[in-house]
Structure 1
Amino acid sequence: MKILLVGEYSRLHNSLKEGLTAVGHDVTIIGCGDYFKNYPVDIKLNRKYTSGLAKKWKVLLYKLFNIDLAAEAIKKQFFSHSENLKGYDVVQLINESPLGVTPKIEKEVVSFLAEHNKKLFLLSCGTDYISVKYAYDKKFRYSILSPLFEGKVSEKEFDPVLKYIQPEFKSLHEFVFQHISGVIATDMDYHIPMKGHPLYVGLIPNPINTEELPYIPFSVEDKIVIFHGINRSNYYKKGSDYFEAALSKLNEKYADKIEIITVESVPYAEYIELYNKAHIVLDQVLGFDQGYNALEAMAKGKVVFTGAEKEFVEYYNLEKQVAINALPDAQAIYNDLEQLILNPSELTGISKNARKFIEKEHHFIKVAEKYVETWLNN
């Protein structure tokens, strides 16, 4: 099949492409590379007006005339490739707003792709109307919106999330759903809100290229190394405040037994290199399942503090622990970390379980084959 993947988050579409090409499909990715992470894409759309005088000019024009120069620049680049964006068997959008521009321009992009290609599918793998509305209505025990409900952040600070339930983005959601053949969720945080929707075609786990992420044999010869990567724009959304509070307390008591590596908003390649030496990776708190960073760390055999709630355990019918369920409770996180520091032999077992789990449920070729089956049957 000839497949076009639109947009990129967390290397998901790159890993899927690797799986699809391994079984003989022709795959192209178009996107912006996900801001500072700069993931590779085949057709690169460059974000402009992001700093200095150009950014100030963009903000002024938007305030005065509601013209978004950055979005218009992305649109112009996208349609300059229009002949290369036709005739695909399947087009898959990473999100309802796959290019991260204004809803008006996203509608033009989706309309074009639907008109000139055979099938259009949508991923639910990041903030979108259905998942944000579900969280906003407090249907989860806790969610990425918990910091808002607890008064840690203002609605303005959470606008990148809350915008999805505003009228303009709700209209985009409805428009996209009129043009797609189906929606695929990538983990429990999106599967749960989507259940029962007529266009929902099921959960397909995130693809992980285990060939590029070799298992690192686990050994604790000196200190236990704990890695915490912070994306400042997602600080509360990821629950980084809980991790920092737990680490502060842990360092007071066990400074002679641990080494803590904290990095902030670094490119993907640098991020990977920095966490390779870690035994424990602190990923996120406010989720029921693992995101991409957690899965890649698990593939390398890291012991990851992330979402691993009972819904996740039951869905995969897990009998052995593959990750540590990080609860929104700094004391609980501290207790779990302390348990591992005092009993380092437990780390080895979880490390091996994590790798086996990734190979069984997230192997990029197995996952690619599930996508192909889903696309063909819907």
Structure 2
Amino acid sequence: MQEGLGWMDMTVHKGKRWSTASAYLRPVLSRPNLTAEVRCLTTRVLFEGKRAVGVEYTQNGQKKKVFADKEVILSGGAINSPQLLMLSGVGNANDLKPLGIPVVQHLPGVGSNLQDHLELYVQQQCSQPITLYKAQKPHHMIKIGLEWLSMFTGYGATAHLESGGFIRGRPGVTHPDIQFHFLPSQVIDHGRVPSKMEAYQLHVGPMRSTSVGWMKLKSANPLDHPIIQPNYLSTEVDVSEFRQCVKLSREIFAQRAFQPYRGPELQPGPGVQTDAEIDAFVRRKADSAYHPSCTCKMGAPSDPAAVVDPDARVLGLEGIRVVDASIMPSVVSGNLNAPTIMMAEKAADVIRGRPALVDPGVPVYRPATLETQR
């Protein structure tokens, strides 16, 4: 059951961030059928006709090629995977031809359908010295760092976004569409600016924004960053949902439980009250939650925006799959890390020919008071 407030799941193990490299790759690096290369930049997929046969990459200034006996699997993420496909001639032919890239497969969906999560911070001054403000002083940071380096415990062993929740922002919504993260600190510019005082905040944002963007190649040079147009807040629905996010966050901080700790509101601040003022604040302060996805959408061949089929195979081609957050048809209602890992495990089973893991008896939570209760 996703709906509700509580402890947030984190990929932390024994006080350390437990990445997929730590959990899946490093324990099996000694396998004879696995070779991992580092400091590489993949520049294109190699094709013979419609079949992917390998990849070209640069390493230490040298151009190299590696060939596949069975398949090429792209896992570059929602930006690099479509970029690599387009560099290899897979994408919208009308965009590739002007760049001098030979078209292998016309797939206009490559790089389109870009979706992301936006969030902003609603901040409240804390009237008691119980936040992480002192922990960010230099002498405390040294102590925290030494404890973490020696024992992997203490303040350095957590991301501190330990509580949060998922709610339905309005009647009739069937599953949560707003996410909260609570942090006992004031964050300014993603932490690049030190906090100014004892404070706490909510990270809040809608999870199913209707604004859809795109990305395209700037040139045929793999070193050139692609052009990214996320089209954030381009629909009135998204603007109104963020307005609701601010109002709901204020409602939470106004509860009696916060009374012993509640100081003045720092952000948006008492001068932001009307809908127009809140909308202006949202446009000024909303930030990416770093959840780009959906740029190689999974779908049926009849869908002009689809890039991969239900088995993650690139449509119209052979010997190539995409396995990362780019294959989501629409952005998930939550953070991307765990769902992407789940998709990779599912794709691994498909690639290996294992039967699907199906349990039709798993109950799915449905709110009993859809129209009347958050």
With normalisation by structure 1, the TM-score equals 0.27
Structure of larger gyration radius: 2
